[in-house]
Amino acid sequence: MMKKQKNDRFASFLDWLENGGNALDEEMQDALREEEPEAPGKQKREKKKKSSDKTADIAKKPRKAYADSWWYRLLAFAVAAALIWLLMEAVDRMPRFGAADTLMDSELTEFYVEHTKEETGAMNIVTGIILNYRGFDTLGETHVLFIAVCTVLLMLSIYGEQDEKKRLAQGALERYFEPHHDVILQSAARLLTPLILIFGLYIIANGHLSPGGGFSGGAVLGAGLILYQNAFEYRKIEKFFTYKTFKWVSVCSLLFYSLAKGYHFFTGANHLDSHISIGTPGNILSGGLLLPLNFVVGCVVACTMYALFTMFRKGEF
Amino acid sequence: MEALNIILLLFMIVCAVAVAATRNLLAAVITFMAQGLAMSVVWILLQSPDLAITEAAVGAGVSSILMFAALKKIHAIREKGEAEDDEKAEE
Amino acid sequence: MLGRVFTHLDGLTAVALFGIGFALLLLDKNLMKKIIGFSMMDSGIYLFLASYGYIEGRLAPIYAEGISDPAAYVNPLPAGLVLTGIVVGVSVTAVMLGLTVRLYERYHSLDIDEIAEKIRREGK
């Protein structure tokens, strides 16, 4: 499937080159002419000038939009203001901000702060909570990320036959016209990308000792990859990161996470006792499964961020 | 610290109002990004560094970049720039 | 009435962000602005939740050398809740942006009224 798509894209790109780089396919041209994209900014300006004839010339019976009428605006404003007032009343009745004896009284919080070090081996209590005590919840969150990428992939890459050709041609154009020699961007990226990637790895690897963890480190890694893709050509990043890489890394990571959590539940459901030595809290190789789980979550998040950006930029992977 | 907190919170509200007020989509996204950055500093003041790192990478970085990419995909940025160029040429 | 709210500036800001985001969601016709408003509501909620984990004069929830007293650290629970929420919020934003891109490709407009009008005419 992928191969066929690639061939199609290449063929349409060749067509486009043969036509002197000006003309697309004939039907494609027609399609483009028919639905010439109008700029949102232009529309808005035209609307400002003459809002009445916007609908008059295209529809015989222009129906006045609700959002244009003054009462809708007034009502929406009133609803928003009432909501703000209501929420402020709620904040007014909440416990005093910064007080020790209100929320710290909760048994759960006290338990977490007292026992995280001995039971999970994490110095960072937040990591201990989200990857050990609430690890099953985090598994769901990582799946949410994966499902979001799948949804965006579906939405941006499945078209009808007519639009499919247009999309492939546009992808080829995007590839052809990407800047190849942006000196400032490329020098900055050459300097920054390794630093960003190393910083991301540091955050992930020290997730159980210092602030950070899989989610933040993965986002930093994803940002580094995005910078690299933006500064250099697609060809360069496709040497080591393609759709296949994304697929395998994501699926293997999620699978490992599921297996690890399954093992947790199998060995000791209530206290999530894993029979894996937690080592000395404070060492880099400690905390039992926390370090691998952090890496796994980081991989999923980084892949997700990069995949989302690539989908929005190219419209394909 | 208290003064810094107040300044940052005010900045966030101003950013939010500016996003609501502007008509330029690119400016709105950039202002929203600035709000996310201020938010990450507020979270350091609230003693939750984990959140600060995540918000700085995600709220100020990736989500705004996604919005930029989507804007570029629907030609909002380019057409806008061209329209402004046209205006300059007319002047 | 509303006397104590001014001692909790973070909560006040959170409410303001939520309200402005909600107003954007209702009032603005541009889909992009609606998405930004939605993200703004998100961040207001996160700020509100995280601000209730804060306890004055205590350390961040990372065990420091020699301090094992649980009363020395702020509440780690809201931070754990919000951390995952932020990342999931991005994916929700991405899905909304994807829908917007598809709508624009179909109807060549970001204006929700225009899109509704075009859909209405298409249905006839």
How far is C-alpha B36 from the geometric centre of its chain's CA atoms?
7
> Within 13 Å of residue B68, how many CA atoms lie on the same side as its CB?
15
Q: What residue in C sits closest to A217 (Cα-Cα)?
A: C87
Residues A157-176 have a mean pLDDT of 74
Q: Which chains touch B (3 or more CB pairs under 8 A)?
A: A, C
Q: How does A14-27 read in b/e, with b if 16+ C-beta sit within 10 Å? A: ebbeeeeeeebbee
What is chain A's mean pLDDT, rounded? Answer: 75
Q: How does A67-106 read in b/e, with b if 16+ C-beta sit within 10 Å? A: beeeeeeeebeeebeebbeebbeebbebeebbeeeebbee
Expressed in angstroms, the distance from the first to the final Cα of chain A is 13
Q: What is the pLDDT of residue A50?
A: 42
Residues A254-277 have a mean pLDDT of 74
- On whether residue A2 sits in a domain, the answer given is no
CA distance A45 to A256: 53
pLDDT band, residue A24 (cuts 50/70/90): very low
Q: What is the pLDDT of residue A8?
A: 59
- On whether residue A131 sits in a domain, the answer given is yes
What is the CATH code of the structural domain delimited by C4-123? 1.10.287.3510
**3-state SS, one letter per residue, for A198-252:** HHHHHHHHCCCCCCCCHHHHHHHHHHHHHHHHHHCCHHHHCCCCCHHHHHHHHHH
Which tens digits make up the pLDDT trace of A282-308?
Answer: 777 777 788 888 999 999 999 989 999
Q: What is the pLDDT of residue A224?
A: 92
Q: What is the pLDDT of residue B13?
A: 93
Least confident window among A125-129, A169-173, C43-47: A169-173
Closest-CA residue to C73 (of A126, A278, A94, B53):
A126
- On whether residue A102 sits in a domain, the answer given is no
pLDDT band, residue B18 (cuts 50/70/90): very high
Is residue B39 pLDDT above 70, yes or no? yes
Is C29 strand, coil or helix?
A: coil
pLDDT band, residue A204 (cuts 50/70/90): very high
Predicted interface score ipTM higher than 0.90: no
Top-confidence residue, C75 or A36: C75
Which tens digits make up the pLDDT trace of A234-263?
Answer: 778 888 888 888 899 999 999 999 998 888
Measured between beta carbons, the chain B residues lying within 8 angstroms of C17 are 12-13, 16
Q: What is the pLDDT of residue A44?
A: 45
Q: How many domains are there within chain A?
A: 1
Q: The whole model's pTM is what?
A: 0.80
How far is C-alpha A206 from the geometric centre of its chain's CA atoms?
23
What are the φ and ψ backbone dihedral angles of A94, each rounded to 5 degrees?
Answer: -75, 165
Record: contact A83-C55, CB cut-off 8 A: no
Q: What residue in C sits closest to A73 (Cα-Cα)?
A: C27
Domain residues for the domain of A224 are: 123-317
Domain residues for the domain of B14 are: 2-90
What is chain C's mean pLDDT, rounded? Answer: 85
Top-confidence residue, C5 or B81: C5
Say which residues have a Cβ less than 8 Å from residue A25's Cβ, sequence separation at least 6: A12, A15, A165, A169
Measured between beta carbons, the chain C residues lying within 8 angstroms of B29 are 32, 36
Record: contact C77-A100, CB cut-off 8 A: no
Q: What is the pLDDT of residue A270?
A: 52
Amino acid letter at A266? F
DSSP state string for chain A: -HHHHHHHHHHHHHHHHHTTTT---HHHHHHHHHTPPPPHHHHHHHHHH-SSHHHHTT-SSPPPPGGGSHHHHHHHHHHHHHHHHHHHHHHHHSPPTB-STTTTT-HHHHHHHHHHHHHH--SBHHHHIIIIITHHHHHHHHHHHHHHHHHHHHHHH---HHHHHHHHHHHHHHHHTS-S--HHHHHHHHHHHHHHHHHHHHHHHTTTTSS--HHHHHHHHHHHHHHHHHHS-HHHHTTT--HHHHHHHHHHHHHHHHHHHHHHHHH-TTTT---S---SBTBSS-STTHHHHHHHHHHHHHHHHHHHHHHHHHS--
In a mutagenesis test of the C interface, which of B25, B44, B74, B75 is the best target, namely the one with the most C β-carbons within 10 Å?
A: B74
Instruction: Report CA torsion sign: A208, C49, B2, C70.
Output: negative
Is residue B82 pLDDT above 60, yes or no? no
Q: What residue in C sits closest to B7 (Cα-Cα)?
A: C9
Is residue C95 pLDDT above 90, yes or no? yes
What is chain B's mean pLDDT, rounded? Answer: 82
Least confident window among C34-43, C50-59, C97-106: C50-59
What are the φ and ψ backbone dihedral angles of C105, each rounded to 5 degrees?
Answer: -65, -30
Residues A167-189 have a mean pLDDT of 78
Which tens digits make up the pLDDT trace of A91-150?
Answer: 888 777 777 666 555 778 888 888 888 777 788 888 888 888 888 888 888 999 999 999
User: What share of chain A in percent tops pLDDT 90?
Assistant: 16
Top-confidence residue, A96 or A273: A96
Residues B33-45 have a mean pLDDT of 91
Whole-Å CA distances, C31 to A67, B13, B70, C34: 13, 22, 12, 5
CB C79 within 8 A of CB A215: no
Measured between beta carbons, the chain A residues lying within 8 angstroms of B73 are 312-313, 315
Amino acid letter at A109? T
Whole-Å CA distances, A126 to A101, A109, A207, A212, B56: 21, 11, 9, 9, 18
- On whether residue A96 sits in a domain, the answer given is no
CB count within 10 Å of CB C86 equals 25
Q: How many CB pairs under 8 A join A and C?
A: 193
Which tens digits make up the pLDDT trace of A55-71?
Answer: 444 444 455 556 567 78
- On whether residue A285 sits in a domain, the answer given is yes
Record: contact A42-B52, CB cut-off 8 A: no
pLDDT band, residue A168 (cuts 50/70/90): confident
CA distance A81 to A280: 54
Say which residues have a Cβ less than 8 Å from residue C112's Cβ, sequence separation at least 6: A67, C29, C30, C31, C34
Closest-CA residue to A83 (of C21, B37, C95, C83):
C21
Q: What is the pLDDT of residue B37?
A: 92
> Within 13 Å of residue B71, how many CA atoms lie on the same side as its CB?
26
Is residue A20 pLDDT above 50, yes or no? no
Q: How many domains are there within chain B?
A: 1
